[in-house]
Amino acid sequence: MIIDRFLPVNREDMAALEWEKLDFIIVSGDAYVDHPSFGHAVISRVLVDAGYKVGIIPQPDWNDVNAFKILGRPTYGFIISPGNIDPMVNHYSVSKKRRKVDSFSPGGKMGLRPDRCTLVYTNMIRQAYKKINIIIGGIENSLRRFAHYDYWQDKVRRSMLVDTEADLLIYGMGETQIVEMADAIRDGLPLEYMHHIPGTCYLTDSIENITDFIEIPSFEEVSTDKIAYAKAFKIQYEEQDPIRGKILVQKHKHQYLVQNPPVMPLTREALDKVYALPYQRDYHPMYEKQGGVPAIREVKHSIISQRGCFGSCSFCALTFHQGRIITSRSQESIIEEAKLITKMEDFKGYINDVGGPTANFRHVSCKKQLKYGTCKHKQCLFPEPCEHLDVDHEELLTLLRRVRAIEGIKKVFIRSGLRYDYIMADSNPNFLTELCEHHVSGQLKVAPEHIDPVVLQYMGKPGGKIYKDFVKAFEDTNKKIHKEQYIVPYLMSSHPGSTLASAITLAEYLRDINYTPEQVQDFYPTPGTLSTCMYFTELDPLTMKPVYVPKTYHEKAMQRALLQYKNPKNYQLVKEALITAGREDLIGSRKNCLISDQQYYKKNTKEKPQTKKTMKNSKNNRKRRG
């Protein structure tokens, strides 16, 4: 079924398609944007392509049950897609302060979705329709499929499937599961018996008929015992593989949460098909009066080229969501999308990005993965590149050359993350040369995150020497091609393992390279990451050894201030941090000092801080006046 228009959001839209009743209704926490960067758009288009009639209720008024009845009762059920970004992260900063802008809502307006919107939407649908199938998915539910630590309430919450009492939870990228589930319902299999689909979780009263599974500590155990929590997370982390992963079971009171192994990533042909569906590539026209949906701006003229990441940074949820096996689109598929973008009225000749979770990962890290799965106790890049790692940028270079040769394209940028350690592992310098020559817009953003070896160890990031070597290679390359371009490093403060001494080490590095970051990201403990497990338990779940965790607001403020020590507003915090850490040697007028021993004046004051020169002049002036 090909529907080359926006999918129905009201009865008038249904009538225009001559649809009397829908098969599925997707309730979305985001505004309706029909673009392949938005989860609700992809799932709805995949279902329509499979022959199902699908409508969308975007950001319904969760206080009005009638808002969930606007499209009528669907034949097969409701699908809840809470949004591209975790709703709690979307609403609150790491300091738990309410954000002012929601880029995924019309006009950027905040407050158009509730906190924990899956839970609220499920309750409202149950009020609207009794005994209706409800399937939950998306990032919110994918990362909360087990009992999990909730940073915002500072406690362990139950699986989202248990809390919502939904019928099925789809985790990871859901195209395969959603179609298999839809077909099974259509063929008469009730959701309560749908226990066979990879990439899904279900609830059961008995596990007698399940074989070859691992039972992890129960909700009751992990909510009261941090050691049990760490052990449970370690098993979840290790079994996150579609080839060798086992069925996992976690008891919640009298029920069992059962997670089937992850689904295999889509083949290249299947991925091409997903991105070739007739997306309208814009927000729904109903948002025009409100100024549109801000989130479309960065992705409208960008191209997603692959999924998955074998980088496995501890603080990133990609391992738990998309997995470590890379799947990429064909060059022909990407070329066709690029040509489509050039025909857009607002296209100015610039492709903002060609990439994915990691832009320079276009193929699996090693061929063994496709047969045996990813290594259970070994990473591809950390602590150093694996001997079996297939390092090759040539296919990516060919793709980029073809895209930038398309008529109407002036420039092709890479703004997705780049793994500089993977670049440095490549003995062929061609990629770095062409990256600097054609795909950097003056500044290249990379993510060393830190420089202290202990913190990097817990982050699962490469050593500081590799980053320094990359910076030098980048600078040398730009000199050769006669370009003045700069690296903008992303840095993170207060990650588990980071002490004040660690933050000072990073501040000294920033002093030595004469760089002051405009923004610093505090570590944000979100569900589904190894780092969040460390934050909550103060244990490294992979070794069960204790980890120092900065938790108080004041200590985190000091660590963050150290990375922006030149900012006068941070003077007192930096001074306190240096004194607390016994590093008064960094306070004074010596060359290596971070701050002077003089108090900075308040922001916006017309007076300037006293220096030796101004103090001497002031003294001479007083003598003259005397």
In a domain? residue 357:
yes
In a domain? residue 21:
yes
Domain final residue, candidates 412, 441, 470: 441
Mean pLDDT of 280-306: 96
Mean pLDDT estimate for the chain: 93
Where residue 599 falls among pLDDT bands split at 50, 70, 90? low
Mean pLDDT of 223-244: 97
In a domain? residue 1:
no
The predicted-structure confidence for 568-593, as pLDDT tens digits, reads as follows 999 999 999 999 999 999 999 999 99
Where does 24-180 show beta strands of DSSP type E?
24-28, 33-34, 54-58, 77-81, 134-136, 148-150, 155-157, 168-170
In a domain? residue 52:
yes
Give the rounded distance of the alpha carbon of 145 from its chain centre: 17
Range of the domain at 160: 11-203
Domain final residue, candidates 203, 218, 247: 203
> Are residue 155 and residue 20 in the same domain, yes or no?
yes
Res. 624: pLDDT tops 60: no
**What pLDDT is recorded for position 600?**
46
Cβ atoms of residues 600 and 609 within 8 Å: yes
Q: How many residues does the chain have?
A: 626
Count up the domains in the chain and report the number. 2
**What pLDDT is recorded for position 464?**
85
In a domain? residue 404:
yes
In a domain? residue 369:
yes
**What pLDDT is recorded for position 429?**
93
Helices 430-438 and 464-480: angle between axes, nearest 10 degrees:
60
Percentage, residues of the chain above pLDDT 90: 92
| 3-state secondary structure at position 57 | strand
The predicted-structure confidence for 309-361, as pLDDT tens digits, reads as follows 999 999 999 888 999 999 999 999 999 999 999 999 999 999 999 999 999 99
Res. 603: pLDDT tops 80: no
What residues form DSSP beta bridges with 76?
none
Where residue 519 falls among pLDDT bands split at 50, 70, 90? confident
In a domain? residue 598:
no
Domain final residue, candidates 394, 409, 441: 441
CATH number for the domain that contains residue 137:
3.40.50.280
CATH number for the domain that contains residue 329:
3.30.750.210
Mean pLDDT of 473-499: 96
d(C-alpha 76, C-alpha 182), whole Å: 8
> Are residue 28 and residue 169 in the same domain, yes or no?
yes
* The two three-digit tokens of residue 424, written as one number: 């440095």
Q: Which among 406, 397, 385 has a CA at the least distance from the CA of 342?
A: 406
Mean pLDDT of 28-40: 97
Cβ atoms of residues 521 and 560 within 8 Å: no
The predicted-structure confidence for 153-207, as pLDDT tens digits, reads as follows 999 999 999 999 999 999 999 999 999 999 999 999 999 999 999 999 999 999 9
Residue that is written with structure tokens 């976690």 in the block: 250
**What pLDDT is recorded for position 614?**
40
d(C-alpha 51, C-alpha 179), whole Å: 10
In a domain? residue 430:
yes
